[in-house]
Amino acid sequence: MRAKLILFVASLAVASGQDVARVFHVHHIDTEQELTEFGTMIRSVAGVPKMSFDATQKTLSVSGNSAQVAIAEWMFNELDRQTLPEFATKEFKVPNNEDDVVRVFILRHAATVQDFQEVATALRTIIETPRLFTFEAPRELAIRGTADQIAAAEWMVRELVQPAEAKRTDSREHPIIDLAKRGSTAVRVFYLPYASTVQQFQEVATLVRTIGEIRQVFTYNAPRALIVRGTPDQMALAAWFAGELGKPVTAETMASTIYTYSDVYHDAENLVRIFYVKDAPTVAAFQQVATQIRITTKMRRVFTYNETRALALRGTVAQLAMAEQILQDRQIAAK
């Protein structure tokens, strides 16, 4: 899609400097809704204070400072063309600021609007940029951020938006500069094919997020992709859970080994273990067991994965021992 600059280029004197007003004529966007969505994406990313649409003339008028209009013009030229780039546009560095970067990704393999929006939500929250906007029809995802954030976005798009027939395996870690200064952080994607339903997949995500108190855990449902950003200790716990919950549960499987969670940002209740309550005939009965253990042991972190009756606990040595005894007594009583 190539945009053609038409009608006029005008300069407006304002107190803060010289603003620029321009009008662009759009050639490859057909409906009023698409024109509005396209214009909104550009206005939001560029930060132009004024933009108006004329659906009849298929024009977008913008006014702002020189940097804002430069971003808008670049986006028009890159996106209003007959053939879009295969994967993404080149980077655009905002004038006079080398670490203010704009790039647009084309998510061709996002099969549905829901898939597209799930990826957009994951990117927005994992890389922590408020300037991420979407144009649904051509699956365009425009991002403005630091060079590090744009690099992380590229890595995530390549990892998450693959052809349907692609064979997916857990990704490597990608480091991200932590602007909140919480220490070293990275992002990694785990694939959980054993979660056969979306509900099961979301249960695993909730379990990982809450047991580890990992703030940035997000999901992409179609490929069962669990996206985690955290410290090295948080990432190690997420990897342990992803692997442990995927193991076959046999008649002999009673519990996992004890995992020591060394995350320095949390308290001394740092032992994690999974017990399998296989004698609970219904989900309701399984949840009753979880409630009993939570109340009796006074553990704050007790969560469940219903499909395999997996009960994930985090607490002290004494609390885990008490939970194990409760489950053993339950088995004895059932005989």
| Tens-place pLDDT, residues 187-222 | 999 999 999 999 999 999 999 999 999 999 999 999
Q: Crossing angle of helices 147-160/113-126, nearest 10°?
A: 140
The pLDDT, as a whole number, for residue 322 is 97
Residue type, 194: Y
Quickly list H helices, 28-112: 32-46, 66-79
Q: Give 88's DSSP letter.
A: B
What mean pLDDT is reported for the chain?
A: 89
Strand order in the sheet with 132-135: 92-93, 101-106, 140-145, 132-135
Least Cα distance to 325 among 268, 264, 270, 255 occurs for 255
pLDDT of residue 98: 82
pLDDT at 29: 85
The CATH T-level fold of domain 84-165 is Alpha-Beta Plaits (3.30.70)
Question: What pLDDT, on a 0 to 100 scale, did the predictor assign at position 10?
Answer: 31
Q: What's the confidence (pLDDT) of residue 184?
A: 74
CATH 3.30.70 boundaries in the chain: 84-165
Question: Which CATH code fits 1-81?
Answer: 3.30.1370.120
Closest CA to 189 of 123, 134, 133, 145: 123
Q: What is the pLDDT at residue 70?
A: 94
Domain with CATH 3.30.1370.120 in the chain: 1-81
Closest CA to 240 of 222, 213, 210, 260: 260
Give the pLDDT band of residue 263 (cuts 50, 70, 90): low
Beta bridge partners of 259: 272
Confidence band, pLDDT 50/70/90 cuts, at residue 266: low
What are the pLDDT digits (tens) for 6-62?
A: 223 333 333 345 789 999 999 988 888 888 899 999 999 999 999 998 888 889 999
**Model pLDDT, residue 267:** 65
- Closest to 211 in 3D by CA, of 161, 266, 159, 153: 266
Per-residue confidence (pLDDT) for residue 5, from 0 to 100:
35
Residue range 259-270: average pLDDT?
A: 77
As given in the structure block, the two tokens for residue 139 are 């699956």
